């Protein structure tokens, strides 16, 4: 990376010809509302699309608001579309969302891994099914309310963090390669803060200006633990909690309720008052065992991932970068050992182990190079 890429103005909006057809994924929230409004202001032909994905198959018998995919979201998006004078459609993708996102979420937790459903949804739904259908009905691009930006390096596009570090969502978009990125628009990615987005919505008279942000997982109502208990009934069992020496120090309720790095809810047997706090450092699915140790007892100097995707090509061995292993995690300085279908990184400083199943996303400065799903953290 010898020079910074050029950022595209308003994430390509100004580069589109007047009258180009853009489908906007309208979640019923303020971000996608402003994204749609900015497209309208550019003279584009805008179609609002809300993906109705609320899971009725769970037996609750209700259509309660589920954040970005509930019936309230459809109603709010439709009212915003009317304010903007654009057509609006609701596409029911319940079955596809279940098969592509929720089933994966359940299977990963049942296997003792920690998935990121937002990565799956962006990859398989928003820039999978939605993009494919939008192109089929005549749209040239799909715009979303993601806090991310697009740049260009020579003849290739690049993906970057949003201007607001607190709202940045580029981590969850790392699977977008050149083809899909060329069809993507992120009209709010350049806003410096969420209040600035809300001010823009208020200026435009959009009813979503003061609407609270949706919860992180749209299909989870209540606590994650309660959701897993319901969804995975019969797919987990209690087992031992052991320390690094192999001594049994407690009993867990089931692997899905634990993740690497967790400290709370362990319910260990009586320990000395001066004993250091214990953290989950490993899950052993074959033995149905949770391993705990004190902070610093299992530091890693390397990280491996599988099922990798690269925005503009895999980075060369020796590339100095930063790797982010959680949505809101602090990037860790690292060096690429090898990258392609898999990824191996050498960490500059020993770090706490990362949770298998989470995404390891590689950055150089604010640019997303790509990443994959964590398989192991080497000592």
Report CA-CA distances (Å) from 282 to 119, 232, 350, 355: 23, 21, 17, 8
Segments of the chain assigned E as strands? 6-7, 21-25, 45-52, 87-92, 141-143, 148-153, 156-161, 184-185, 239-242, 248-252, 278-284, 289-294, 300-310, 320-324, 332-339, 343-351, 359-364, 367-378
Cα(355)–Cα(376) distance, rounded to whole angstroms?
8
Q: Token digits for 259?
A: 């993740």
Among candidate residues 121, 186, 134, the one with its CA nearest the CA of residue 158: 186
DSSP string of 244-303? Answer: TTS-EEEEES-GGG--TT--TT--PPP--TTPPPEEEEEEEGGGTEEEEEETTTT-EEEE
Q: Which of 69, 118, 121, 321 is catalytic?
A: 121
Q: Is 118 a catalytic site residue? A: no
Q: Which of 39, 68, 118, 218 is catalytic?
A: 218
Catalytic residues: 121, 218
């Amino acid at each position: 990376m010898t020079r910074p890429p050029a950022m595209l103005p308003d994430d390509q909006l100004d580069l589109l010809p007047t009258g180009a057809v853009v489908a906007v994924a309208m979640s019923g929230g303020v971000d996608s509302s402003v994204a749609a409004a900015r497209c309208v202001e550019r003279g584009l032909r805008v179609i609002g699309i809300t993906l109705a994905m609320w899971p009725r198959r769970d037996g609750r018998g209700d259509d309660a608001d589920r954040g970005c995919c509930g019936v309230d979201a459809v109603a709010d998006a439709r009212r915003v579309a009317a304010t903007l004078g654009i057509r609006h459609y609701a596409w029911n993708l319940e079955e596809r969302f279940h098969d592509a996102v929720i089933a994966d979420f359940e299977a990963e937790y049942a296997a003792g891994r920690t998935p990121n459903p937002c990565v799956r949804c962006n990859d398989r739904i928003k820039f999978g099914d939605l993009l494919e259908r939008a192109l089929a009905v005549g749209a040239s691009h799909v715009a979303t309310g993601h806090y991310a930006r697009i740049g260009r390096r020579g003849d290739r596009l690049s993906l970057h963090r949003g201007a607001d570090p607190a709202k940045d969502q580029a981590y969850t978009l790392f699977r977008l390669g050149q083809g899909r990125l060329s069809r993507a628009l992120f009209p709010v990615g350049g806003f410096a803060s969420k209040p600035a987005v809300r001010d823009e919505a208020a200026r435009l008279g959009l009813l979503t200006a003061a609407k609270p942000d949706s919860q992180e997982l749209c299909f989870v109502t209540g606590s994650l633990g309660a959701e897993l208990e319901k969804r995975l009934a019969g797919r987990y069992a209690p087992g031992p909690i052991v320390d690094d020496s192999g001594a049994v120090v407690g009993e867990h309720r089931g692997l899905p309720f634990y993740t690497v790095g967790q400290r709370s809810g362990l319910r260990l047997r009586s320990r000395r008052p001066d004993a250091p706090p214990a953290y989950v450092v490993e899950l052993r699915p074959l033995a149905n065992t949770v391993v705990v140790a004190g902070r610093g007892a299992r530091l890693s100097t390397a990280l491996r991932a599988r099922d990798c995707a690269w925005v503009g090509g895999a980075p060369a061995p020796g590339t100095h970068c930063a790797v982010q292993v959680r949505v809101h995690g602090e990037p860790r300085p690292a060096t690429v050992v090898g990258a392609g279908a898999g990824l191996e990184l050498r960490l500059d400083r020993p770090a706490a182990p990362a949770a298998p199943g989470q995404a390891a996303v590689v950055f150089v400065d604010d640019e997303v190079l790509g990443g994959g799903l964590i398989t192991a953290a080497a000592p």
